[in-house]
Structure 1
Amino acid sequence: MNIETKNIDTITVMKLIETNRLYALNAGVAKEKMNEVLSVPKSKLIVDFEAISFIDSSGFGALLSALKTSKEHKSQIKLCNINKDVMELIELMQLDSIFDILQNPTACINSFSKAE
C-alpha cells in the first residue's frame, strides 16, 4: 500500500493507492501519515476513499486517532468518495455524525473555503 498526497493551496489531499482496503495491515501507516499532517496547527486534510471498498476496526481506529489529533491541534479533517458499503458501516457506528463527509475532494475544498 502506498499513500499518495498532494497539496492544493493549504489543503493536503491524501489517497490510499494500490489497495482497496483500510485494515489491520495498513491502518498504522495511514494513521501515522494522517497524524503527521494534522499535528501541524490549523492544517487541513482531505482523505479520499475513492479506492477503498473495505474498512475494519483498525481502519476506524486510525480515523478516530486522526480526528483526535485534529482537535488537539485545531486542524480539520474531511472524508470523501466513500462507497456505499463503507458508508453503511460508518453510519452503523454513527461516525457520520462526528466526521465531515462530502461527496468528492472539490466539495471538501469548497467547504473549507466557506468555513474560514
Structure 2
Amino acid sequence: MASYCVKSNDGYVEVIFEGEITLEESFDFKEEVKNRINDLHIYQVMVNLEGVTFMDSSGLGMLISLYKEVNEKQGKIVFFNVQDYIMKLLKLVNLDKIFLLAASRDEALSLISQA
C-alpha cells in the first residue's frame, strides 16, 4: 500500500512517498500534495523517494505534475533518495536533465536553500 506525508519546515516543504505509486494512487496523491503545498503557500519543496518500492508511468506523471506546479509558482523542487530503478526511468525519458536530483536529504536541503 502506498502512502505519503507532507511536512512543513522553516521555509520549505518535505514530501515523503512510500510504497507502490501506480495509477490508483498517483492522481489522488498529486491533487492532495498540490493542495497541501498551495494551502501552505510554500513552494520550496523536497520530495523523498527512498521508500518507493515501485512506480509506473502514472507515478512519473505525478512527479512531472508536481514539478510543473512548483515551477509555475516560481518555486524549486528537489527529488532525493531516488531509487536506482526510478533513476533509470527518469533517464529513459530525460527527466534527469530537467529535475533537480540529490543523493541525500542534506544535499537536497542545500539545493533548496540556494537562491
- Please state which band the TM-score falls in when normalised by the shorter chain: 0.7 to 0.9
Q: Which amino acid aligns with 2:4?
A: I
Q: Which amino acid aligns with 2:15?
A: M
Match of 1:32 in 2: 31
Match of 1:82 in 2: 82
Change (3 A) 1:29 1:109: same
What is the TM-score of this pair, normalised by structure 1?
Answer: 0.85
Flag structure 1 segments of 5+ consecutive residues without an equivalent.
none
Offset of residue 32 of structure 1: 1.4
Flag structure 2 segments of 5+ consecutive residues without an equivalent.
none
How many residues are aligned here? Answer: 113
Offset of residue 29 of structure 1: 2.2
Runs of 4+ in 1 over 4 A off after TM superposition: 38-42
Change (3 A) 1:107 1:9: same
Change (3 A) 1:68 1:23: same
Deviations 1:8-50 (A, max 9, x none): 3111111123x2x111111012211332216866611111001
1:22 and 2:21 are equivalent in the alignment = yes
Root-mean-square deviation (Å): 1.8
Deviations 1:74-102 (A, max 9, x none): 11111011111111111111100110010
Q: Which amino acid aligns with 2:56?
A: D
